Each structure stands twice: as C-alpha cells, then as structure tokens.
Amino acid sequence: MSQINYYTEEGLKKLKDELHQMRTVLRPSISDQIAEARDKGDLSENAEYDAAKEAQGILEMKISKLEAVISNARLIDNTHIDNSKVYILSKVKIKNVVNGMEMEYMLVAENEANLKEKKISIDSPIGKGLLGKKQGDVADVQTPSGIIKFEIVEISR
C-alpha cells in the first residue's frame, strides 16, 4: 500500500502542474528526439537513439511515481483546526529564549517544506518540538548542538 501524504491546496497544485508539464511538454519532446534519431539509420550504433530511449524511460518512471503520489495525496483543510495550539498549517512566531531572536515559520507536511519560504516540516526537530504547544509555552527542541528552548510568541493561520 502506498503512503498517504498531506498537501496544502498550493502544494497539490504544484505537483499537478509538474505532472502536466511532463506529460504535455517533455514526453512529446523526447518522442520527437527518438523519431529524429531513428531517421538517421542504423539503430544498433546510434548513440542519440540510445540516449533518447533512456531519457524516455527515466521520464516515464518519474511520471509514474508522480501519478502515484498524487493519487495518494490528501488535501489539508485548515478551516476546522483549533488556533489555540500549534498544528500543521499553523504560522508560529517563536523566540529563542537564550538570545531573544524571533522567527516566524509555517508548519507544513514534509514534502512541502521550504526554508526560503519559511515553511518547515512537522517532522523536523523544530516542527516536532512545537506541535501541540500553546501561546506562551516553551518548547525544548533537540538539535545536533543540544537542546534549544523556544517560546511560542504567537499562533495564527
């Protein structure tokens, strides 16, 4: 049985757009390359043909995997989530208790984590430490360099 993954509406749309790109742009492009290489004659000594066929196999494998991921994707509905505690899709402002530095992150599923967009996985050390905490709570987060204490300053959606 395949693993169910949870996505935001935006994250699922990105996956579907990527699949559409593979099917409608990349697949025909590789087919054209194969046809062009086939027209050049003897296939047994045609490196272009071999490379195009290999690229086609890799693309078909990626398409198949992405189709499986999308078929097992579940959309997260954050309209019924309690805002008094930290859950998936919570925007959390935290403060490092030691140095007073404040940061704001959104907790998302592992497959949507992107530090540049300030989205961290609920499976990351910080994400795990924050889950279920309330505003004002202090979370002990285990990191490779030791335990860091973060105070929950604000929780929003």
Taking only the tens of pLDDT, the chain with its 157 residues reads 467 777 888 888 999 999 999 999 999 999 999 888 888 777 777 788 888 899 999 999 999 999 998 998 888 776 766 778 898 888 999 999 999 999 999 998 888 889 999 999 988 999 999 999 999 999 998 888 889 999 999 998 7
CATH number among 3.10.129.10, 2.60.260.20, 1.10.287.180, 3.40.50.1780, domain 5-75: 1.10.287.180
Task: Tell me whether residue 126 is exposed, middle or buried, using C-beta atoms within 10 angstroms of its C-beta: 0 to 12, 13 to 18, 19 or more.
Answer: buried
Q: What is the dihedral of CA 104, 105, 106, 109, to 10 degrees?
A: -170
Q: Does an H or E element contain 105, and which? A: strand 102-108
The top-level CATH class assigned to 78-156 is alpha beta
d(CA 157, CA 153): 14
Res 46: pLDDT:
78
The domain locations on the chain are: 5-75, 78-156
Give this prediction's pTM: 0.68
Res 1: pLDDT:
47
Instruction: Pick the closest to residue 62 from 94, 19, 95 (CA basis).
Output: 19
Instruction: Pick the closest to residue 143 from 122, 131, 128 (CA basis).
Output: 128
Question: Could you tell me if 90 and 148 are in contact, meaning their C-beta atoms sit under 8 angstroms apart?
Answer: no
User: What string of DSSP letters covers 10-52?
Assistant: HHHHHHHHHHHHIIIIIHHHHHHHHHHHHTTS-GGG-HHHHHH
The full length of the chain comes to 157
